[in-house]
Structure 1
Amino acid sequence: MDGRRSDTRERIRTVAMELFSERGYEKTSLREIAERLGVTKAALYYHFRTKEDIVVSLSDDLRRGIDDIVTWAEQAPPGRERAEQILRRYSALLHSLGRDMVRFWHENQPAFRDLGFGAGLRYQFRVLADLMTEPDAAATKVYHARQALLAISWSVSMMDDLELTDDQMHTAATAIAIDILARIQ
């Protein structure tokens, strides 16, 4: 039973992200999500009481994923290999979350700000970049580390007009990010 409940929650989250990306967060209702899924609002309420609950569950996945990367990185010896692995793990995390979700985060910054997620995610992003550089690194090195992470984020959210598969984008974005990383070594 837990597997089926989990699958339903995942379907709801996927459809919600599709609608949020198509119509915008503010213009999408729970009724529309339920209709697209072919379920009643009551069935949807069983899993998520509000749109905010859906976004919170997705944001929690991202935060946990980044926390896992940070925990791993703090145990790994500093240097180029750790920095590359941070990029690879970050790329895999965003790739696993899906294009619609990442695009939603980029296109719905006011909703993220209003729901209080933006500051925490920005902090985690900075922690990742700091772990990619040596302590007290020059500002330009930290800048390049952040740009490498952004290359991955933007490729997932802003390149959906190109005829590339998710895997092709994932591979290309990771390679570009590693090229940027080479500037700080």
Structure 2
Amino acid sequence: MARGNTRQRIQDVALELFAEQGYEKTSLREIAERLDVTKAALYYHFKTKEDILVSLFQDLTRPMDELIEWGGRQPRTLETKQEILRRYHAALIGAAPLFRFMQENQATVRELSVGETFKERVVSMVDLVQEPDSAMTDRVRCITALFSLHAGMFFMNNVEGDPEEKHEAVLEVAIDLVTQAHHGRH
């Protein structure tokens, strides 16, 4: 966790505490104590724990937005689609703790409506890797490709093996699915 600045350290520690004892039970005071800073220092960056959570989602959605924008400017080739999956996979791995939080605190995620914006972006990502005139099976392949990247964040934890190898396998399966769908079009 070599993320340097105070804002990022607050986010990291908050997520750790949310994971340990639950979002509801965690107070700003506890976050400040674990960071060994005054509550005022914490307050300078974030007024509430909701602010911390929203900022974490923004940090995840920013790379997604950049990727969606980048993908929209590229030719719709297989190479582009594969690169989109690679970049998205890397962004997800970077946001693994946030993903675990989303999985374990679905009610909070819904309440803060951050879940909605995330869902919209996932829909945009699917649009980038599938063709509008694709057969239904190919559309399912593209959706499954993205969900295998998401599933790789949670379910692969229960699978024995080297984490690096698991990440590569998940990406390979996603790329296979999109490649198959790309070749399946008329």
Q: What band does the TM-score fall into relative to the shorter chain?
A: 0.7 to 0.9
1:7 to 5, 16, 21: 5
Mean Cα displacement is larger for which, 15-24 or 70-79? 15-24
Asked if 2 retains the 8 angstrom alpha-carbon contact of 1:133 and 1:145, the reply is: yes
- Residue 79 of structure 1 aligns to which amino acid in structure 2? T
Instruction: Report the Cα distance in structure 2 between the residues aligned to 1:35 and 1:172, rounded to whole angstroms.
Output: 40
What SS class does the counterpart of residue 26 from structure 1 fall into?
Answer: coil
Instruction: Report the Cα distance in structure 1 between the residues aligned to 2:61 and 2:85, rounded to whole angstroms.
Output: 16
Offset of residue 110 of structure 1: 1.3
Mean Cα displacement is larger for which, 136-145 or 75-84? 136-145
Q: 1:168/1:49 Cα in 2 relative to 1: closer, same or farther (>3 Å)?
A: farther
Q: CA RMSD in A?
A: 2.1
The percentage of counterpart residues that share the same residue type is 45
Match of 2:140 in 1: 143
Q: How does 1:29-40 map to 2 (within 5 A)?
A: 29-40=27-38
Q: State the aligned residue count.
A: 180
Q: 1:159/1:44 Cα in 2 relative to 1: closer, same or farther (>3 Å)?
A: farther
Instruction: Report the Cα distance in structure 2 between the residues aligned to 1:87 and 1:176, rounded to whole angstroms.
Output: 11
Runs of 4+ in 1 over 6 A off after TM superposition: none
Structure 2 spans left out of the alignment, 5+ residues: none
2:172 to 156, 159, 175: 175
Instruction: Report the Cα distance in structure 2 between the residues aligned to 1:34 and 1:163, rounded to whole angstroms.
Output: 36
Q: How does 1:59-138 map to 2 (within 5 A)?
A: 59-97=57-95, 99-138=96-135
* Cα deviation code 1:99-152 (max 9, x no counterpart): 211111222221111111111111110111111011232333222212111211
- TM-score of the aligned structures, taking structure 2 as reference length: 0.86
